[in-house]
Amino acid sequence: MRLMLYTDTMTIKTKPSAYSKVATAIAKGIHGRHKVAHQPMLRANKMGLFVYQDLLIYPSGDEEFGEDQIEKNCLHFNADAVMTLKDLYPFTKLMHMPLEWIAYTPVDASPPGISTINRLRYAFKVVSMSEFGYKELKREGVKSTLIEHGVGEEYRPLDREDCRRRFHIKPNEFVIGFVGKNQERKNIPRVIEIMRATRDMHPDVDVKGFLWTNVDKEIPLRPMIIGTGMAEHIHWPNPDMYEHGLPEENMAELYNAFDCTITIGNEGFWLPGIESMACGTPILTPNYAAAADRVKDGCGYKIKVKDWSYNNPVAVKQPIVDVMDAAHKITLIINRGREAYEKRCTREAERYRWPGIIEKKWIPFLDMCETELLPMVKKGRIMKWDQEVF
């Protein structure tokens, strides 16, 4: 099958995202069985068509999400299907193009927005990335195939002292880590409140925060860090370094340096959660949306949701977590020690290793798509076209 991957850039380091990583892993995993091309979004490829590591990279187009270019690229590539790996809000025209659209989409709210459901009605196939998303779509009458994201082999327990040294973290510090874009929906100011509340609760422990984000982006975080008196207790990277992105090996070192990793927003999957667990670091998530799927017994804790907010452009339900409950849950980790969680976390994360996800999920799913996209009917049975056609 010929598949066009239409997502964040997989090759050009402009704005790395979880989608880029996932798409790269899928493209590598199915290489040889299917022909894959890629149209990067966000005007990442202004150069024209080129080949990079066996992957045909198409121009991004002039529009932010490249809808002006995708049909042309698919026709040029003779794509059997185009797969988006993205939220659905950027797409306004894609649904009305004569393309077979596989929507690999996050669902991060209950109920999912009506605009999400309406768009998905046009999809050839829908792939949900979390149990939460799968159930929500089912409730809305949208059939989907559940395929969770995977985690790379780089993410594994490492020598923590070395890792901490690399990020200038002292051995006695208890570090609450956050990894993610600085977006309104991630509610990082509340993460800072949690870091402060935990610090206040434990004067005998050197509680620190580590925000792996661009503190100057969507929400200006520096004033809040300073205003809450946390300037000396929160680490953050130089914004340029964050935007450029760290190699996976170094990201694994960062997770190894944390004592726990937290998110409090509504997530469609929360890849950092899996990466953190693969490194043996426990996680904390709100008791809502897909991030909560990640928390299994002994791997971390779900934080109580105290209230809800709809103050976002697509008016989806977002959680406002209970700061004190979060601080109490972190206290449990402080008391038991990170090591008490390491074994369960790494064992749980093994389920998400890419080779297994590709073999057990993506290959059967794409085979099923191929049978519908390139069908052959023989003696009353539907099968896929003979391989020699390719």
Using CB under 8 A as the binding rule, whether residue 121 contacts another protein is answered as yes
Nearest distance from residue 43's CB to another protein, in Å?
22
Helix (H, G, I), strand (E, B) or coil at 308: strand
Using CB under 8 A as the binding rule, whether residue 138 contacts another protein is answered as no
C-alpha pair distances (Å), 204 with each of 192, 198, 200:
19, 11, 9
Using CB under 8 A as the binding rule, whether residue 381 contacts another protein is answered as yes
Nearest distance from residue 122's CB to another protein, in Å?
6
Task: Kindly state the tokens that stand for 336.
Answer: 């038991």
Asked whether the beta carbons of 120 and 103 are under 8 A apart, the reply is yes
Alpha carbons 349 and 155: distance in angstroms, whole number: 9
Q: Which of 63, 71, 87, 154 binds another protein (CB under 8 A)?
A: 71
Stretch that binds another protein, among 44-52, 259-267, 332-340, 381-389 (CB under 8 A): 381-389
Alpha carbon of residue 250 to chain centroid: 18
Nearest distance from residue 273's CB to another protein, in Å?
34
Please count the other Cβ atoms lying within 10 Å of the Cβ belonging to residue 87. 16
Give residue 273's region: left, alpha or beta (phi > 0; psi -120 to 50): alpha
Nearest distance from residue 94's CB to another protein, in Å?
9
Nearest distance from residue 377's CB to another protein, in Å?
4
Q: Which of 88, 194, 303, 373 binds another protein (CB under 8 A)?
A: 373
- Write the burial class of residue 320 (CB in 10 Å: 0-12 exposed, 13-18 middle, 19+ buried): middle
Pick out residues in 353-372 that bind another protein (CB under 8 A).
372
Stretch that binds another protein, among 67-75, 178-186, 234-242, 272-280 (CB under 8 A): 67-75
Nearest distance from residue 365's CB to another protein, in Å?
15
Of residues 196, 190, 237, 197, the one with CA closest to residue 217: 237
C-alpha pair distances (Å), 362 with each of 22, 169, 223, 347, 374:
12, 39, 45, 22, 17
Return all residues near 339 (Cβ < 8 A) that are at least 6 apart: none
Nearest distance from residue 96's CB to another protein, in Å?
6
Task: Kindly state the tokens that stand for 287.
Answer: 């008791």
Using CB under 8 A as the binding rule, whether residue 122 contacts another protein is answered as yes
Alpha carbons 320 and 306: distance in angstroms, whole number: 6
Return the half-sphere exposure (C-beta side, CA atoms, 13 A cut-off) of residue 179. Answer: 27
Using CB under 8 A as the binding rule, whether residue 240 contacts another protein is answered as no
Please count the other Cβ atoms lying within 10 Å of the Cβ belonging to residue 295. 21
Stretch that binds another protein, among 214-222, 225-233, 326-334, 375-383 (CB under 8 A): 375-383
Using CB under 8 A as the binding rule, whether residue 33 contacts another protein is answered as no
Using CB under 8 A as the binding rule, whether residue 389 contacts another protein is answered as yes
How many residues bind another protein (CB under 8 A)? The answer is: 29
Q: Which of 232, 240, 307, 388 binds another protein (CB under 8 A)?
A: 388
- Cα distance from N-terminal residue to C-terminal residue, the chain: 8
Nearest distance from residue 28's CB to another protein, in Å?
25
Pick out residues in 87-116 that bind another protein (CB under 8 A).
96-100
Using CB under 8 A as the binding rule, whether residue 47 contacts another protein is answered as no
Using CB under 8 A as the binding rule, whether residue 385 contacts another protein is answered as yes
Stretch that binds another protein, among 72-80, 186-194, 203-211, 248-256 (CB under 8 A): 72-80
Q: Which residues bind another protein (CB under 8 A)?
A: 71-72, 75, 78, 80, 96-100, 118, 121-122, 141, 372-381, 385-386, 388-390
